[in-house]
Amino acid sequence: MTERTLILIKPDGVARGLTGEVLRRVEAKGYRITALQQMQASTEQLAAHYAEHEGKPFYQPLVDFMLSGSVVAAIAEGDRVIEGFRSLAGSTEPTTAAPGTIRGDLGRDWGEKVQKNLVHGSDSPESAEREIGIWFG
């Protein structure tokens, strides 16, 4: 069964010119990009996207980071695309992410309050549909 997932290239990835490389890796893996847009995230979108983290210490630094520049939102489709993209992205900690992954090859710790880890991928079919609704309406 074909799945859909939301992929966000975060402001650090966009600012560093890594959008093409991230999308290349997604397509090279055999997934299909079915929607793509570059945009400035709104406070409302981020509040909805990160609702489960509201009140946690990292919430506001994360929102501020996501508001700091453009993001690229994509919908990717394919068999087991959620699991596949999360594997392709690598561990959320870029310093220890495995070589060969997006975060392992392209990410690092910048010594800031928030972890700048280049990409986001939905973690379940339910999250994917909710997140796609937030970013693509």
Which are the catalytic amino acids?
120
Give the separation between CA 34 and CA 1, rounded to whole angstroms: 16
**pLDDT the model gives residue 70:** 98
Give the CA radius of gyration of the chain: 14
Contact by Cβ (8 Å): 34, 132:
no
Dump pLDDT digits (tens) for 73-113.
999 999 999 999 999 999 999 999 999 999 999 999 998 88
Residue 77 sits at φ, ψ, to 5 deg, of -125, 150
Name the 3-class secondary structure at 107. coil
What are the structural domains, with CATH classification, of the chain? Answer: 2-122 (3.30.70.141)
Dump pLDDT digits (tens) for 123-134.
999 999 999 999
Contact by Cβ (8 Å): 130, 82:
no
Mean pLDDT of 5-13: 98
Tell me the pLDDT band of 1, cut-offs 50, 70 and 90. Answer: confident
Beta strands in the chain (DSSP E): 2-9, 32-39, 71-79, 119-121
Q: Does the predicted TM-score (pTM) go above 0.75?
A: yes
**pLDDT the model gives residue 34:** 98
